[in-house]
Amino acid sequence: QVQLVESGGGLVQAGGSLRLSCAATGRIFTSGGMGWFRQAPGKEREFVAALTWSAGTTYYANSVAGRFSISRDTAENTVYLQMNSLKPEDTAVYYCAVERLFRTTTVRVGASYDYWGQGTQVTVSS
């Protein structure tokens, strides 16, 4: 029903910037949310950032607040993750996800999301 296509991952030096894109096809849930999660080798999946589709209200993990910025283009059904001041610990596979019904209490919980992209690798070198 919903397909998510991610792009923009790659290799970047510490302190650099990278912009991830997630284009959604199929139904857009106007009351839902879209978020980014990441998973590094040997670590559990963690929340990065999310927004509500309707109002664009944003939420960030403490580890990326002030460095990352999530945004959306409603005309293109696309969500972006602008990553600045990248650190080696940001290295991970980044996943775009859609939550059909947004809830503040579960915005940071991966299990609450209904659709996931294939993931895109982000590698930050020292």
For the segment 25-50, the average pLDDT, to the nearest whole number, is 94
How many other β-carbons are positioned within 10 Å of the β-carbon of residue 69?
16
122, pLDDT greater than 90 = yes
For the segment 9-32, the average pLDDT, to the nearest whole number, is 94
Contacts of 125 (CB under 8 A, 6+ apart): 11, 12, 13, 14, 88
* Gap between the Cα atoms of 35 and 58, Å rounded: 9
Q: Compute the chain's Rg from CA coordinates.
A: 13
Dump pLDDT digits (tens) for 43-79: 999 999 999 999 999 999 999 999 999 999 999 999 9
Two structure tokens written together for 95: 């996943």
Closest CA to 94 of 119, 112, 116, 114: 119
pLDDT at 1: 83
* Helix intervals (H) in the chain: none
